[in-house]
Each structure stands twice: as structure tokens, then as C-alpha cells.
Amino acid sequence: MSAIPRLHGAGLGFRRDLLPDLQAASENGLPPEIAFFELAPENWIDMGGRHARTLRQFTERHPFVCHGLSLSLGGLTPLDEVLLKKIKAFMAEHRMPLYTEHLSYCSDHGHLYDLMPIPPTWEAVKYVAARIRRVQDILEQRIAIENASYYVAAPLGEMDEPAFINAVLQEADCWLHLDVNNIYVNSVNFAFDPVAYLRRMPAERIVYMHMAGHHQESETLIVDTHGAEVIDPVWQLLDASYDLLGVHPTCLERDFNIPPLAELAPEVARIARIQRAHAQPQRAAA
């Protein structure tokens, strides 16, 4: 199996809405804080024409990783092995070293258009891990699984979410893609301590992290929209994650209400500043 990919710094989700700004910025140099990009392969595979040429220009000059949307690792329908083979070819073509996917399911004899929680049972651990191992066999490399946001607690639970994640990681021998915003969203929606959750995450398996904004529907309900600026409590949770788990590459997601690059760049820069602060010798020795 492959070694952990060597990402570093702060990244940004590569979205078609941002292409004009990114192309204009690349002529004079992208904001220096953007160390890598992330994209959803489903949105780019089989694409031709102008967008495909633009993607090629960027992947030849900048590090990229793939973050999947539709494998439905916890689903009951067979894995889409045709899609997986396309993803493998796409990653090889663009020299992308890492594929990550949500620890959830999104299909049940049809697409559900949302990420649903997997019942945290030992049977589910075995089932999901077997599917992850099959994905890894096809891609011929380890993948990372991401902790998902959810709005209804899965029934029949035999363990809590951190225990379930750790069990799947061990059984599948895969990596962890840690979404800080998702932890915060779930902590509000289900009234748990997000820092205690972080303490139970295996730092040695983390490949990179996610930051994003959300919509506060009420005091006790947050919807994970990726459509707003990151709020202060989530920045504070990122700081805590670096304290507890070490500094890891961290990508800003923005999938809805996408503003100009000039408005996103300061958030990427803020991630980079927090990373640098944690890398200072006096902080490390504290």
C-alpha cells in the first residue's frame, strides 16, 4: 500500500465558478497561501473542451487531491466499479496522489441527494471496511474517509461516532480526512463536546482537514451548506485540533454562494497563519 501523501499548508476547493478568477490570478501568481487544490472527480471526469484544458493547466502546476461525492461507502447497492476505474485513470492522468470519500451512504436503489449516517454497529464496521478495502484494491492505494455531518442519529447504535470511525479505520487500514466544521455542526445538533471528540481522533492517520461555513437554522440546528464564511467557534476548533493532533494540511471548502477569489483568499490565509503559529518553537514547547 502507498505511503501517506505529502501535502502541506492551506488549500482551496477547485470550483468551476472560481475558474475566471483563478485563471486571472495565475497569470501574476496565485495567492501564496494556496498550497494545494481539492476537487470532486465526479464533476470533472469525462469533461472535455475549455474546462478540461483549464484543469490540465492547473494540475500541471499545482498539487491536487480528489474528494469524492457519490461512492456511498455505507450503501447497500454494489460499489460503482466503473466509476472507480474512471477515477483511477483520472488521478493518474492528473498526478493526483490522494482520494477521499465520506463515511456515509447516499444511495438506496437511487441517489438520495444527501449524506446519510451509517448505523454505528460492529456489523456495519465489517461491511463498510470491506467496501473500503475493495476501493483501495481497485485504486491500488489507500484512501481516506471523512467524518460526515448528519441531522438524524442513526438507529441501532452499538458505539458512538468516534469509536465507529476508529473501528473502521483499523478494520479497513485506511486514512482519515478530518472535517473540523462537520464536528462542530454535529456537536451543536447533538449536544456533545467537540474537543472531547477531537481527542479521540488518531493523529497518525490524518491526511488533511476540512474547514467550511454553514447555516445556523436555530440555536440547536446547523445545516452544513459550505455556503458562508467560517465562524469564530469553528476557527477556535481548528486551533484546538492543531493543539491536540498536530498541524495537518487544511482545505477551505466553498460550494454554495461562492464569492470572488479575493474574498476567499483571506480565509485560506487565516488557515495558513494558524498553521504557522502552531509551528513556532515556543508554541510547540508549551
List pLDDT tens digits, range 219-263: 888 888 888 999 999 999 999 999 999 999 999 999 999 999 999
Mean pLDDT of the 54-69 span:
96
**Among 26-30, 203-207, 216-220, the range of highest mean pLDDT:** 203-207
Pairing of strands 144-146, 99-102: parallel
Q: What is the pLDDT of residue 284?
A: 45
Share of the chain above pLDDT 70, in %: 94
Please name the helix (run of DSSP H) or strand (run of DSSP E) that holds residue 65, with its range, or none. strand 64-67
Choice between 196 and 213, residue whose per-residue pLDDT is larger = 196
C-alpha cell of 99? 482520494
C-alpha cell of 171? 478494520
Residue 2 belongs to a domain? no
Mean pLDDT of the 129-137 span:
98
Q: What is the pLDDT of residue 280?
A: 76
Residue 162 belongs to a domain? yes
Q: Is the pLDDT of residue 85 over 60?
A: yes
Residue 273 belongs to a domain? yes
Lowest mean pLDDT among 30-44, 88-102, 110-124, 248-262: 110-124
Residue 4 belongs to a domain? no
Pairing of strands 144-146, 10-13: unpaired
CA distance 203 to 185: 21
Q: Is the pLDDT of residue 283 over 80?
A: no
Residue 46 belongs to a domain? yes
Q: Is the pLDDT of residue 6 over 50?
A: yes
CA distance 275 to 271: 6
Per the prediction, the chain carries an average pLDDT of 92
Q: Is the pLDDT of residue 168 over 70?
A: yes
Which domain covers residue 92, as residue numbers?
10-285
Q: How would residue 281 be classed by pLDDT, with cut points 50, 70 and 90?
A: low
Q: Is the pLDDT of residue 29 over 90?
A: no
Residue 225 belongs to a domain? yes
Lowest mean pLDDT among 8-12, 47-51, 83-87, 242-246: 47-51
How long is the chain?
A: 286
Q: Is the pLDDT of residue 23 over 80?
A: yes
Domain CATH for 83: 3.20.20.150
C-alpha cell of 262? 479575493
> What residues pair up with 209 in beta bridges, in sequence order?
178, 250
Q: What is the pLDDT of residues 115-125, one digit of tens each?
A: 778 999 999 99
- Structural domain count, the chain: 1
Nearest CA to 201 out of 176, 220, 230 is that of 176
Q: How would residue 2 be classed by pLDDT, with cut points 50, 70 and 90?
A: low
Q: How would residue 114 be classed by pLDDT, with cut points 50, 70 and 90?
A: low
Q: Is the pLDDT of residue 164 over 50?
A: yes
Q: How would residue 128 be classed by pLDDT, with cut points 50, 70 and 90?
A: very high
Mean pLDDT of the 62-88 span:
95
Q: Is the pLDDT of residue 150 over 70?
A: yes
Q: What is the pLDDT of residues 8-20, one digit of tens each?
A: 999 999 999 999 9
Q: pTM higher than 0.75, yes or no? A: yes
